[in-house]
Structure 1
Amino acid sequence: MVQQLSNKKVAILATDGVEQVELIKPKKALEQAGAQTQVVSPKSDSIQGWNHHDKGDRIPVDITLERANPDDYDALLLPGGALNPDQLRTNSQAVQFVKSFFAAGKPVAAICHGPWTLIEADVVKGRTLTSWPSLQTDLRNAGATWVDREVVVDGGLVTSRNPQDIPAFNDKMIEEFAEGQHEEQRRSA
Structure 2
Amino acid sequence: GFPMHEDGIGMARTFEREFHGETAEATGVRSGFFAAVDLPANPAAYTGLRSGSMVGDHGDVGAVDEPVAQPVSLSARRARPRVGVLTGTFGARVIEPLIGELGRDDVRVLPVTNEFFGGNTGVTGLMTGDDLTRTLAGEPAGDRYLLPDVCLSEDGRFLDGLTVADLPRPVEIVPTDGIALRRALERAA
Q: TM-score, normalised by structure 2?
A: 0.34
Give TM-score scaled by structure 1 length. Answer: 0.34
More strand per residue: 1 or 2? 1
